[in-house]
Amino acid sequence: MRVRAIIKRIVQQFLRDKRSIALMMVAPLLVMTLLWLVLDLEQYDPAIAVTDVPVQMQDLLEEQDATVEEMSSAEAEEALQDKTVDAHLIWDQDQVKLTLEGSDPTASSAVQQVLNQASKQMNPNTLNMEVNFLHGSTDLNLFDNIGPVLIGFFVFFFVFIIGGVSFLRERTQGTLERILATPLRRWEIVIGYLSGFGIFIILQSIIIATFSIYVLDIYMEGAFWSVLVITFLLAIAALSLATLLSAFAKNEFQMFQFIPVVIVPQVFFSGIFHIESVGWLEAIGKIMPLTYGADALKEIMIRGQELSAVLVDVWVLIGFSLAFILLNILALKQHRKL
Amino acid sequence: MSSFISLNGIQKSFKDETVIKNVDLAIPRGQLFGLLGPSGSGKTTLVKIIIGLLNPTKGTVHIDNQTMPSLKLMQEIGYMAQSDALYSELTAKENLQFFASIYGIPKKKQKQRIQEVAKIVDLTDHLDKTLEHYSGGMKRRMSLAVALLHQPKLLILDEPTVGIDPVLRASIWQDLKKLQQQGTTIIVTTHVMDEAEKCDNLAMLRDGYVIAQGSPEQLIEKSNTETLEEAFLHYGKITYE
C-alpha cells in the first residue's frame, strides 16, 4: 500500500519534529487561555462623578457597583479630562444631565446600564419585565459567545501553517519531484498526505475542544463529539487549502504571505462581528470555510443543536475540502503530466 | 538491435527560452550511456524529460516501446536526482524503507535489499543515523542507494559522483559496470571528462544541442584530437562556426 507508506513516513517525520508538534498541540491552548483571561473578566464597573445628585440616587448607583464621587462641575470636568471618571451626572433642578467620557464604548455602556438600573429602582412604576433565555444565560459573556469561533479559527490557523509549510518543503527540497519519479499516482500523494496529517489533526481537535470546554469552561450546550466532527472537518479544509496554496509559493516566506490574505479575513466574516446587515459583506463570508465551521460550532455549543441541524455547514465544509483536494491533484500536474 | 530508449525531435522551452533544441537519441539496451556537457547545457532537463518529470514542448520519448510518461515504466526506472531529495528527519533506513514500500517491494525482501544497496554505497554502518547527520557525500551515496533499491532495468543518474571522494567514486563506477553486466541500462550525466571516458557511448551537449554522438574513442578519432576534452571543444567550434 503506497498510501500507507506515505502516512507512515509523515508520522515518523512529524514525531521527530518536537517543535512543530508543540506548535500544533500546545500553542492553540496557550492562545485560547490568554483570550479567556482577557475576555472572561467580570463586567466593567464604571466610576461616576456626581454633582447635586440626591443621596438616594447615589446609594442606588453604588448598589450597582459603580464608584460614585461627589464633586463640583469644574472638578468633574477635569476628572473626565484625566479619565479618572467615566461619566459626570448633574442633577440640576428638574433636568438631569449626563456627560460621558466616551472614548471607551465598554465604559460608556456600563455607565448607561448602571443608570438604567438605578432609575428603574427610583421609579418602580416603569415596565417590570421578567427576562428569560431560550439559549445561554445572563452569565453568557464575550468569551462564551465568540469562543466557538475562536476554536474554529485556531484549528484552521495552526493546521494551515504546519500543513502548508510541510508540503511546501517537499517541493523545495525536491522530494516531491523525487516521489513523482516513482510509480506513485498524484492522488495517492495528496491522500497520503491528508491522511498522515489527519492523525495529528484528530488529536489536535480533541485537545483544543477538551481544553476549551472542560478546562476553560466555555459555555457548552451541545454534544462533545459533534464539536469534534466540526473541528475535524474544518481542519481537513485548512489542510487541503494549505497544501493547494503551497503550489503557488516558492518558499516558506511566500507561504506565510497567504496568512494575511487568506486566513485573517476569515476571522472578520466568521461571526465575531455582525455583518448580516451588509449583503455584500455577507457574500464574502460565504466563500470562506471558517464561516461555516464557526456557524456550526456556535449552533452546537451555544444553542445546543444536533449535527443534523447543521448539515448544510457540514456538507459545505466537505465540499470545500473535496474541491481543494481535486485542485491539488491537478496542480501536481505541473510536476508530472500523468 | 532496436533501441531501448529513443528520443525523437525533443524540444523544451521555458517561457521564451529554449533549453533543449531538437535532440534525437537512441540508446540500446544494456548500454552505459553518458550525457556530457557543461553546467547549463540542458543535461538535467533532458534527463527529466526522459523520466517523465518534464513534458517536452515537442517530440516524444519511448522506452521499451512505450511512450513516456508511463507509470508502469516508472516502476522499472531508478532515478538519482541532482539534488539529494531525501527526508533529512528520517534515518537512512527509514528513507530506504519508505522508497521500498513505494516501489512495492515485499516486506521480507525489503530488509535484504536495504542491506544490499547499503553495502554497494558503503553506508552499512550508518543506516540508523538521521540524514541530518550525514555529510554531503554520504547523502549522495544514499540517493544512489535509493535509485538501486528496486533493481530497475534502467538507471538514470544525474551527476552521481559529485562530492564523492575518488576512492568511493572508483568503487561506484565499478558497481555501475557490474550492474551493466547484469543487463541494466544506465544513463549518466557528467561534466567530468574522465568519467565520460568510462561510458560506452556519449552524447555531447552544449546549449541544448547534441553537438556530437558516439563512443569516446570514435569521438576522439573523428575530431583528430588526443583527449575527450579537446574533442568536446572541437565539436563545439564546428557547431558554432
Span between the terminal Cα atoms of chain B, in Å? 35
Domain span including residue A309: 2-39+141-334
Q: Which residue, of A93, A122, A151, is where some domain finishes? A: A122
What's the DSSP call for residue A30?
Answer: H
Count of structural domains, chain A: 2
Query: Between residues 157 and 186 of chain A, which touch chain B (CB distance below 8 Å)?
Result: 173-175, 177-185
Same domain, A198 and A280: yes
The angle at the Cα of A86, spanning A81 to A92, to the nearest 5 degrees, equals 90
Residue B179: HSE in the Cβ half-sphere, 13 Å Cα cutoff:
28
The closest of A148, A152, A239 to A201, measured between CA atoms, is A239
The closest of B24, B99, B115, B69 to A333, measured between CA atoms, is B69
Q: Which residue, of A71, A89, A122, is where some domain finishes? A: A122
Count of structural domains, chain B: 2
Contact at CB, B52 and A338, closer than 8 angstroms: yes
User: What is the maximal distance between C-alpha atoms in chain A?
Assistant: 91
ipTM (interface pTM): 0.86
Same domain, B115 and B6: no
Disruptive mutation site among B14, B72, B74 for chain A (greatest number of A CBs within 10 Å): B74
Q: Is residue B70 part of a domain?
A: yes
- Asked if B91 contacts B129 with a C-beta cutoff of 8 angstroms, the reply is yes
Same domain, B72 and B6: yes
Same domain, B67 and B160: yes
Indicate the helix (H) or strand (E) that contains A305: none
Nearest CA in chain A to B68: A338
d(CA B180, CA B200): 11
- Residue B1 reports pLDDT greater than 50: no
pLDDT at A315: 95
Contact at CB, B71 and A179, closer than 8 angstroms: no
d(CA B100, CA B123): 17
Same domain, B110 and B200: no
Q: What is the CA radius of gyration of chain A?
A: 27
Q: Which residue, of B101, B127, B151, is where some domain finishes? A: B151
Q: Is residue A136 part of a domain?
A: no
What string of H, E and C letters represents the secondary structure of A44-73?
CCCEEEEECCCHHHHHHHHHCCCEEEECCH
Contact at CB, B102 and A182, closer than 8 angstroms: yes
Same domain, B38 and B108: no
Q: Is A333 on the interface with B (CB under 8 A)?
A: no
Domain span including residue B107: 83-151
Q: Which residue, of B101, B121, B151, is where some domain finishes? A: B151
C-alpha dist (Å) from residue A330 to A186, A323, A335, B15: 8, 11, 10, 21
Q: Is residue B19 part of a domain?
A: yes
CATH number of the domain to which A67 belongs: 3.40.190.10
Give the 3-state secondary structure of residue B99: helix
Same domain, B144 and B164: no
Sign of the Cα pseudo-torsion (B85, B44, B226, B201, in order): positive
Nearest CA in chain A to B48: A181
Same domain, A10 and A100: no
Q: pLDDT for B37-74, tens place per residue?
A: 888 888 888 888 888 888 888 888 888 888 887 888 88
d(CA A100, CA A108): 7
- Asked if B64 contacts B36 with a C-beta cutoff of 8 angstroms, the reply is no
Q: Which residue, of B124, B151, B178, is where some domain finishes? A: B151
CATH number of the domain to which B206 belongs: 3.40.50.300
Q: Is residue A227 part of a domain?
A: yes
Contact at CB, A173 and B85, closer than 8 angstroms: yes
Per-residue pLDDT of chain A (338 residues; tens, 9 = 90+): 789 999 999 999 999 888 888 888 899 999 989 988 888 776 788 889 988 888 888 888 888 888 888 888 888 888 888 888 888 988 877 788 888 888 888 888 888 888 888 887 777 666 667 778 787 777 777 788 888 888 899 889 989 988 888 889 888 888 998 898 888 888 999 999 999 988 998 899 999 999 999 998 888 888 899 999 999 999 999 999 999 999 888 888 998 999 998 888 888 887 777 777 777 877 888 889 999 999 999 999 988 888 888 999 999 999 999 999 999 999 888 777 77
Same domain, A184 and A237: yes
